[in-house]
Each structure stands twice: as C-alpha cells, then as structure tokens.
C-alpha cells in the first residue's frame, strides 16, 4: 500500500534526532557525529532516488516538506504527548524533562516548516528547506549542549563492560574454540594417561 511520500523517512528520522538531543544533554558529543552522518546519508540517498524516479525540483521541495512534517508530528505526538521516552539513553529525571521539552519544541518547529506557508513560503527550494531543517535540528542539539555545560557536571562516560575495557571479547563460539584447543593440548601432551 502506497503511503504519502516522505512519511517513511520522516518517521525514521525522529528517533535519531531525539538521540542527538539526549547525547547533547549527557555531554556525549562524539556520539552525535555518526548520527549526523546517518541523517545526512538517509536524506541525500532518498532525495537522489526521488530525482532518479523523475521528480522535479518543485515536487522534491514538497517531499522534503512532507519529511519534516511527518518527523515533527511523530516527535510531537509519540515522543512528547504520549511520552514514549523509554529507549533514549537518559537517566536523570531533570534531563528526561529537558529532553521531552526539546523534542516537543522541535516537533512544533518541524511542523511549522512543513505546513506554515507564512513561515516557509511554497516557492522555497529544496536547498532552503533542507537548510532550515538542519539549522532547527542543530539549534536544539546546541541548546542541549548548553544545558549540559551550564549544569557544572563532568562529562558522563558511556557505560562499558569490564571485558570491553580490558579489550577482551568472549562469545560462545570463542569459548567452544578454547575448549576444543585445551582438549587437543591435553591429549597431545599425554594428560589423559594420568587419569
């Protein structure tokens, strides 16, 4: 079943954008680089596929408006109003409140960009819409960074396992391999004769 163009990408962008804000609130800015690359790659590839499918620049601007509208409505409805925030990497109650507020504000901004022709006139090109989309998103991430910096806290380190910090990885297959190797060593050295 065909859905409105841009709906799938708009919904797919809402969670990574929320993660960027969450990482900003926790002071984990390096984590945002890969998310930023993902967002840009997804939008660039989607737009190039639409151009290859024969969409003209006017249609592409409409599709990008749809993407921002769907992203904003999902952020506002699901992540702000319904408060589906369980999967975001935030522990403190204060940061959860700040994150929820930032998501709601950004959702409203995206919806305004998409639907308010007084704010973003219909004749705006895809480059201008993309620039506004990126600037709105990065503005909220920068605000989250500012909130972290103004809190006077040290940057929180990502949680890691003891094995990872010791540069060790143990999986079931590795355990089986080690057991097999120790059995071979045991039998080749005559250890079985002692029992």
Pairwise pLDDT comparison (148 vs 2), residue with the higher score: 148
pLDDT at 168 over 70: no
Annotate 10-77 with three-state secondary structure.
HHHHHHHHHHHHHHHHHCCCHHHHHHHHHHHHHHHHHHHHHHHCCCCHHHHHHHHHHHHHHHHHHHHH
Q: What is the pLDDT of residues 103-138, one digit of tens each?
A: 999 999 999 999 999 998 989 999 999 999 999 999
pLDDT at 174 over 70: no
Domain locations in the chain as residue ranges:
7-150, 162-194
* 87 band by pLDDT with thresholds 50, 70 and 90: confident
> What is the average pLDDT score of the chain?
83
Nearest Cα to 141, choosing from 47, 68, 35?
A: 35
The pLDDT value recorded for residue 195 is: 45
In angstroms, the CA 72 to CA 14 distance is: 7
Burial of 133 (0-12, 13-18, 19+ CB in 10 A): buried
């Amino acid at each position: 079943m065909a859905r409105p163009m841009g709906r799938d990408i708009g919904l797919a962008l809402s969670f990574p954008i929320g993660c960027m804000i969450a990482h900003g609130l926790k002071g984990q800015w390096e984590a945002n680089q890969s998310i930023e690359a993902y967002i840009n790659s997804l939008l660039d590839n989607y737009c190039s596929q639409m151009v290859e499918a024969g969409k003209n620049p006017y249609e592409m601007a409409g599709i990008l408006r749809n993407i921002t509208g769907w992203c904003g409505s999902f952020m506002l409805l699901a992540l702000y109003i319904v408060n589906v925030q369980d999967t975001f990497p935030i522990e403190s109650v204060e940061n959860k409140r700040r994150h929820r507020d930032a998501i709601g504000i950004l959702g409203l901004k995206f919806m305004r960009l998409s639907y308010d022709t007084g704010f973003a006139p219909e004749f705006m090109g895809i480059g201008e819409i993309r620039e506004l989309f990126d600037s709105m998103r990065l503005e909220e991430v920068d605000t989250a960074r500012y909130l972290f910096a103004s809190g006077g806290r040290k940057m929180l380190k990502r949680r890691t396992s003891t094995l990872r910090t010791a540069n060790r990885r143990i999986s079931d297959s590795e355990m089986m391999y080690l057991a097999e190797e120790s059995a071979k060593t045991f039998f080749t050295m005559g250890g079985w004769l002692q029992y």
